[in-house]
Structure 1
Amino acid sequence: MSPDNWIELAQDADTGIETLRAHFRGHAYDPHWHDSYLVGVTEQGVQQFNCRRAKHQSTPGKVFLLEPGDIHDGDAPTEDGFTYRMLYLDPLWLQRELSEVFENAPDNSQLCFAHTLASDPRLAHATSLAFQTLHHGELKIVRQTALDGLLERLTSHLHWRTRYGEDPRLPLVAQKARDYLHANARFDIGLDQVAAAAGVDRFRLTRAFKAAYGLAPHAYLVQLRLSKARRMLSSGAQPATVAMELGFADQSHLGRWFVRAYGLTPAMYRKRCSNLPDV
């Protein structure tokens, strides 16, 4: 972490919600995704990122809304950089908390955000308030009240998307390759093996996969491992153990990729999210 960049990370013990406040100048992080819903507010500067095949620029007061699996990056196009605060909402927690609001939800569906970037002052205020109470460990009743206010504002930006066993919007080749990567994420697999599983040659595989998911298969595999690494680290696993179980060459290899994607080391992430001492 350079002197121009900093990250503050915490995790709420009751809900599991992670809260992050950070500042970056220049390049912030490489393309990656999260297993959580991301709700964040830009405090200062211009926060530029690519997501869903579009480039977005979030300025102070704007709220960015990302779904689990949304691939995104980040950089500062202006000299003074940008500062933002973020909430990482667990999908099961969000679904449970909104169940009364959406009690008549359609079958075979999932929650999604209508837009990636929103200009909604009330949502921005609710997000900042929820962040403040969680990040600084306010009384439980204060945290719950702030989260209820956030959920109330979020409902105007949520709608239902049908969940398909086989998403017709994505080429079957890419879907087969993705399924193979998920099933074999911890192994040292080659592109030939992925192509064989998808029933095409390597070149057609790469073209189809990038068209569907915005990343080449090898980059997707790395991000898949990093996503699993976050879960293991927040549960208290040691970085060396995580690296070994997820197929990274060693702890340093995991560390290099983790910093590029999230801006902090695996050890720092584990310490701030698990509250467990190093051994």
Structure 2
Amino acid sequence: MTSQNWLDLAQDADTGIETLRAHFVGHAYDPHWHDSYLVGVTEQGVQQFNCRRAKHQSTPGKVFLLEPGDIHDGEAPTADGFTYRMLYLDPQWLKRELGAVFDNAPDNSELSFANTLASDARLAHAASLAFETLHGGELKIIRQTALAVLLERLTSHLHWRTRYGEDPKLPLVAQKAREYLHAHAHQDIGLDQLAAATGVDRFRLTRAFKAAYGMAPHAYLVQLRLATARRLLARGEQPATVAMALGFADQSHLGRWFVRAYGMTPALYRKRCSNLPDRQAPRL
């Protein structure tokens, strides 16, 4: 991270919601995804990102809404960079909290945002207020009230969609490959192995996968492992242990990918989300 870039990350102990405020100049982060629903507000500058096969520009006051699995990147197209604040909402928490509103969920469905970018001043205000109360550690009743207001505003931007399954718009080979990667994410998977599992040669597999999901299979596998790494680090696992468990060559290898995707080191993420000190491995 350059001297121009900074970030401030915290996690609410009661809800598990992560809150992030950050500033980036130039390139911010490589394409990646999260297991959470992301609700963010741009404070300053132009926040440019690619998501769902479209390029978006979020300017001050706009709200960006990303679902779990939405691949996105980030950059500042202007010299002054951009500043934003973000809430990472756990899917189970969101579904549970909205149960009273969406009490008749269709079978095999999940909550979905209608649009990636929204011009909704009331939603922007509600998201900012929720961020401030959680990030600042306000009294529990204040945090809960702010979240209730945020959820009320979010309902007009949410709908039910069919849970991931066979999508007629995507090549079946790409969907089979994705399922295989999810089922064998901790293994040292080769392209030949993945191609054999999908019944095509590796060249057609790579073309189909990249066309469907916006990245090659190897890049998707790395992002899948990084999403798992975030969960383990937030629980207090050591970066070296996480790297070994997820098939990275070593802690440095995990660290390089983690910084490219999230703009911070695994150790910093663990410290901010678990509130545990980082222990150095003993020297032999």
Return the TM-score normalized by structure 1: 0.98
Q: Which residue of 2 aligns with 1:99?
A: 99
Shift of 1:126: 0.1
Structure 1 position 187, deviation (Å): 1.6
Distance 2:54 2:193 in 1: 31
Give 1:164 shift: 5.0
State the match for 2:48 in structure 1: 48
C-alpha change, 1:206 and 1:99, in structure 2 (3 Å) is same
Partner of 1:189: 189
Spell out the pairing of 1:129-148 with structure 2 (5 A cutoff). Answer: 129-148=129-148
Moved more, 203-212 or 26-35: 203-212
Aligned match of 2:234: 234
CA distance in 2, matches of 1:116, 1:133: 24
- The 5-angstrom pairing of residues 67-106 of structure 1 reads 67-106=67-106
Q: Which amino acid aligns with 2:173?
A: V
Q: Find the residue that maps to 2:125 and give its secondary structure.
A: helix
SS of alignment partner, residue 110 of structure 1: strand
Aligned counterpart, 1:127: 127
Report the identity percentage. Answer: 85
**Corresponding residue number in structure 1 for 2:282:** none
After the TM superposition, which residues 102-113 of structure 1 pair with which residues of structure 2 at under 5 Å, given as runs?
102-113=102-113
Partner of residue 269, structure 2? 269
- Residue 61 of structure 1 corresponds to 61
- The TM-score with structure 2 as length reference comes to 0.97
Alpha-carbon separation, structure 1, partners of 2:234 and 2:222 = 18
In 2, the alpha carbon distance for the partners of 1:231 and 1:98 equals: 23
**CA distance in structure 1 between the partners assigned to 2:36 and 2:208 by the alignment:** 26
Cα RMSD of the aligned pairs, angstroms, is: 0.8
Distance in 1 of aligned mates of 2:246 and 2:196:
22
Aligned residue type for 1:87: L
Work out the CA distance in 2 between the residues paired with 1:246 and 1:103: 37
Amino acid at match of 2:129: L
Matched, 1:36 2:36: yes
The 2-side partners of 1:164 and 1:90 are apart by 18
In the TM superposition, 1:5-44 aligns within 5 A as 5-44=5-44
Per mean C-alpha deviation after superposition, the further-off stretch among 160-169 and 58-67 is: 160-169
| 1:120 Cα deviation after fit | 0.2
Aligned to 2:152: 152
Amino acid paired to 1:196: A
Distance 2:167 2:274 in 1: 36
Provide the C-alpha distance between the structure 1 equivalents of 2:91 and 2:171, rounded to a whole number of angstroms: 26
- 2-structure distance, mates of 1:155, 1:179: 30
Q: 2-side partners of 1:35 and 1:163: how far apart?
A: 14
Deviates more, 1:100-109 or 1:265-274: 100-109
Q: Partners in 2 of 1:163 and 1:133 — Cα distance? A: 32
Q: CA deviation at 1:171?
A: 1.7
Q: In the aligned structure 2, how far is the partner of 1:170 from the partner of 1:14?
A: 39
Give the match's secondary structure for 2:40. Answer: strand
User: Residue 197 of structure 2: SS of its match in structure 1?
Assistant: helix
Greater CA deviation, 159-168 or 8-17? 159-168
CA-to-partner distance for each residue in 1:240-262, whole Å, 9 max, x for gaps?
00000100010000000000000
Deviation at 1:207, TM superposition (A): 1.0
Worse-matched range after superposition: 99-108 or 201-210:
99-108
Q: Deviations over 1:131-190 (max 9, x none)?
A: 000000000000000000000000000011022543333221011111111122122211
1:198 alignment partner in structure 2: 198
